[in-house]
Amino acid sequence: MDNIATADLEGVDRIFCNGKEIILIGTAHVSKESALLVTRVIESERPDTVCVELCETRLQSIRDKDAWRNMDIIKVIREKKAMFLLMNLMLASFQKRIAEKFEIKPGQEMINAIEAGEKIDARIFPADRAIQTTLTRVWRSMGLWERLKLMFQMVFSLGNTDEITEEEIERMKQEDILQTLLADMKRSHPILERILIDERDQFLAETIRTAPGDRIVAVAGAGHVPGIKRYLADSTAVDMDELTRIPRGGNFGKIMKWLIPLAILVLFGAGFFIKGKGGGTDMIWMWIAANGLFAGLGAVAALAHPWTILTSILAAPLTSLNPMIAAGWVSGLVEAISRKPKVKDLESIPVDILTVRGFWRNNVTRILLVVVFTNLGSSIGTMAAIPLMLKVIG
């Protein structure tokens, strides 16, 4: 087993693994002291490689401050990534506001690590799993109720951070932002702990272990350090393919995706057969009214363009019967065309996501809200319509 010894500095471990010397720095994401410690250690150790708790996407976003200018919102909708982009922006919003509360830039310890590493010509190596992979694995592990709860919790996080208690602040110093946001859900959904923490501990450890160079400084949140040390000390190989695999939706979800539209069509047929033309027609109108109304309300809640609201009302009754198309995708595309985002919208995203009003004001984030809220409204409309239709033939 590899030898693990604690360095003189608190929060810094010196690990000898596979012929490499790894200096592991456990940081507090909301601590100025941690950011300064990172710079101090890198400058004194002068490693070959600096591993940071960032994925390639997040590393590029730090390096390229103008990355938002290149975003194609229509492509995001077509590739069904609107939900995950919105979740990312909400996480960024929470992190930025917490960082402002502590008068420190979001991810300052990672910024310091990159700058200090580049200053000594060390290689900067992103060691974390792609954020979209992590979020997708979280999303696929949840049922409908957990997903709705997650979205409401994310939206609630946009509120005022002034009410955060000292106890919560201390917890944040030992956790990453996603872990903090999902703290309540982890208790009722234990699989989140495995996906958010244990899987990433394994991923980080294996990436650090296999990083180029003989002398490595690795910068990670303090909450990940015990797990990273445990997996570095374990000679068992980590299955990286399994950790990066996007799990397919469960068979139940796939079946329900087709079964619900089929059941609705069967109900229509039963209405005509049992209650005649009048009963069947009434059921169709109930379906149209419930789906259209709630989808339209979702678009209204997102402050969508009038054409988008009308499209949502008209499209939802049809898209709800088509497992391949969602009402939100249609309304999102109409919103993107009706209020085509300008360069200033893309440039102001980092500022606008700091407030609830900004999310609704910015044309880019509002499009994402339109997609999510319209889909949510259409789902509620489906659940409301079915019992009403059953009463007709009951």
Predicted confidence (pLDDT) per residue in 103-116, tens digit? 666 678 899 999 99
pLDDT at 229 (0 to 100): 93
- Considering the domain architecture, whether residues 232 and 332 belong to the same structural domain is answered as no
Q: Model confidence over 108-158: pLDDT tens digits?
A: 889 999 999 999 999 999 999 998 888 888 877 777 677 777 766 666 655
User: Which pairing describes strands 215-221 and 49-52: parallel, antiparallel, or unpaired?
Assistant: parallel
Checking if the pLDDT of 252 tops 90, the result is: no
Q: Which of 49-58, 240-249, 253-262 has the highest mean pLDDT?
A: 49-58
Straight-line distance from the first to the last Cα atom of the chain, in angstroms, rounded to the nearest whole number: 69
Q: Are both 256 and 238 inside the same structural domain?
A: no
Average pLDDT, the chain: 82
Domain residue limits at 300: 251-393
Residue ranges of alpha helices (H) inside 55-126 are 56-63, 73-78, 82-101, 108-119
Pick the last residue of a domain from 227, 244, 261: 244
Q: Mind listing the pLDDT tens digit for each residue in 153-175?
A: 666 655 555 555 545 555 555 55
> Does residue 213 sit in the same domain as residue 289?
no
**58 pLDDT exceeds 70?**
yes
97 lies in the same domain as 216: yes
292 lies in the same domain as 330: yes
- Same domain? 202 vs 304: no
Whole-number percent of the chain with pLDDT over 90: 33
pLDDT of 98 above 60:
yes
- Per the structure, the count of domains in the chain is 2
**Which DSSP string do the residues of 316-375 spell out, in sequence order?**
HHHHTT-TT--HHHHHHHHHHHHTPPPHHHHHTHHHHTTSHHHHHHSHHHHHHHHHHHHH
Same domain, 183 and 153: yes
Picking from 244, 274, 306, the residue at the C-terminal end of a domain is 244
| Model confidence, pTM | 0.71
pLDDT, one tens digit per residue, over 371-386 is 989 998 998 999 899 8
pLDDT digits 0-9 by tens, 320-349 = 888 778 889 999 999 999 988 877 777 787
pLDDT at residue 268 above 50?
yes
